[in-house]
Each structure stands twice: as C-alpha cells, then as structure tokens.
Structure 1
Amino acid sequence: MSDGRDDLSWVLTDFAQRVADVDCVVLWSSDGFPRGASEGVSEEQAEDLAAMSASAFSSSKRVSVIGGGGDLSKTVIEGANRFVILALAAERTGITVVVDTAADPLIVNVELDRLLAQVGEHLVTEGRGGSAGPLTGTRP
C-alpha cells in the first residue's frame, strides 16, 4: 500500500467513528489499489476491498451510462447484515463505506457527502502516463 494510507487514514477513521454504524472505510484508486483505510482494517482487507470496489464501481458506472442514466457518483450494494456505499471521492479516486443495516442511510449519505466536500480535493489520485483512468467525473 502507498504511503498515502498513513496520511489519509485519520480522516477515514474519524468518519467511521463519528458516523453511527459505520464499520469501515477504504479509499482506493481507480486501478484498485488502496490509498487509505480506517482503523482496524488490515492491509489485506484494504487491498481486497479496494480491488473489488474499483471493479464494482466501474461496472456500475458502465451500466448507468448504457442505461441512459449518465454519470454515476454513488452506488449501493445491499446485503443481509451490511450495505456498502461506493462513491466517487475525487478524480481517479473512490471511497467504500461498509455500514451496518441498522444505520440510517440518509445520515450516512449526508455525512459522506460532507466529508467529500471538505477533503475531496486532497483525495485525487495522480494519473499514470497522462491517462485519466476509468474513474472520473464530478461530485454532485
């Protein structure tokens, strides 16, 4: 994992501790590498979540475009005990929030938008060889 994890983990940990029922948060690059994770997330878990999140978000974004929905800034995956929010955090950067189903999704969503509005410009992942990568767009 890049050294950026240590620089950003405190922001993600603060979010996970401040917002009720948030289990963990992982920041990832569009190519599926972790850029940071909240406290308690192992490096292996962060790598797995980053890779799966980048793939799922990219697929969701493509489905949205094909279906005429236009740019996608967030997608939600609902499970029996957790739901997962995948969101565009900044250019070439996404964020995954794993939340207990007891959470109020509206509150989690508002707090996530607030976090991204406050620190989003600091989350941009630098491109490789001038390529923008698949995860671009604008935050609402």
Structure 2
Amino acid sequence: MTSPPPSITPAEPRSGTGDLGWLLVNFLEEVPGVDAGVLGTLDGLPLASAGLSEAKSAHLAAVATTQNSAGKAGGNIIDPPGGDVELVIVQLSRRYVFVMNTQQGTTGDTAVAGTLLTVLAAPDVDTRMVGNEMAALIKSVARHLGTTTRTATADGSVNAGPGDEA
C-alpha cells in the first residue's frame, strides 16, 4: 500500500451513525492504493470516515454531494433522462476520487437511503477493483445503515416491516 500524500493526514477514524468508522478503516487496509474514505449523506454531511481529519471529512462529503449532483444534471440534459448516479470517477494527475451512491446497496427489505461512499485513491490504483470493493462495502453498509421498507395496511396504519408487532 502506498503511503498517503502529504495533503492527506492520517487520523483516528471518525465515525457516526451506528459507529461505521471501522468499516472504512477495514476498507482502507484491504484495498491497495486507497488512502481515505467518507460515508456521507446526499446533502453533504459526513456520517463516518477514515484517513482524514474531521474538517477534511466534512469537506470531502460536501464535494461528493456536488459531484453526485453534477453527474445527475449532466446525465439528464437530453431525453430520456440518465437516471440516478451510480458512480462518479474523477481522475486527477496525482489521485482518483470515487463517489458511489449507496442506493444501489440493498439487502432483502433493507435499503440504504441517501448516502454516498467517497474514496480517495492513488493514481496507479486498479479502478475496477476499487469500484468492485466499494460495491461490496455498500452491501455491508446496507446491513448497518438500512431502513426497513414500510407498507400501509388495510386499516391505514403503517407496518414498519418484518418484526413489527404494532
């Protein structure tokens, strides 16, 4: 694994919502060439991160939201619209930025709603491998960040999903 460029300051993983920082730490350790990662909301708030300070995590989460929105806008310029963004890859001269929409990660009745997984990687990284590993991580995130599908019952009440006793 390459050492992080000077602009990336290794830090203790910041985690939130279900303490997901450990998932990102494992991702950084297991995927060669990946230096940092952030799981953030669609509106740019960091939920968990690894390899970045808290301030840089917040900045990257906001940047990811912008890239996701720009990708969707660009894809929807002509008819038929391109749909939802699945993956944005920005290739810089000394780094890649990957932004994957986690709405693609579902497990049974559980789906991750409104999150983006963003990673920073070395310029010589295997981009296919990073994309595949991001998709695998999203599946594991779905189990921890998922929301159960809700359905209306005949009497108008809402069933919160499996195991709902009300």
State the alpha-carbon separation in 1 of the partners of residues 142 and 52 from structure 2.
Answer: 21
How is 1:27-38 mapped onto 2 (pairs within 5 angstroms)? 27-38=39-50
Q: Does 1:77 align with 2:99?
A: no
Equivalent pair of 1:25/1:95 in contact (CA under 8 Å): yes
How far off is 1:65 after superposition? 2.1
Which 4+ residue blocks in structure 1 deviate beyond 3 angstroms?
none
Q: Does 1:23 align with 2:35?
A: yes
Change over 3 Å in CA distance of 1:75–1:35 after alignment to 2: same
Aligned-residue CA RMSD in angstroms?
Answer: 2.0
How far off is 1:48 after superposition? 0.6
Higher helix share: 1
Alignment correspondent of 1:7: 19
- Which of the pair has more CA radius of gyration? 2
State the TM-score, normalized to the length of structure 1: 0.79
Which structure has more RCO (C-alpha within 8 Å, separation ≥ 6)? 1
The C-alpha deviation readout for 1:95-129, integer Å capped at 9, x for no partner, is 1011101111111111111111222243359xxxx
State the alpha-carbon separation in 1 of the partners of residues 37 and 145 from structure 2.
Answer: 14
Change over 3 Å in CA distance of 1:11–1:116 after alignment to 2: same
Amino acid at match of 1:103: V
Q: Does 1:43 align with 2:66?
A: no
Secondary structure in 1 matching 2:84: coil
Equivalent pair of 2:117/2:134 in contact (CA under 8 Å): no
How far off is 1:13 after superposition? 0.8
State the alpha-carbon separation in 2 of the partners of residues 71 and 5 from structure 1.
Answer: 24
Change over 3 Å in CA distance of 1:3–1:111 after alignment to 2: closer
How far off is 1:4 after superposition? 1.4
List runs of 5+ in structure 2 lacking aligned partners.
1-13, 103-111, 148-166
State the alpha-carbon separation in 1 of the partners of residues 115 and 146 from structure 2.
Answer: 6
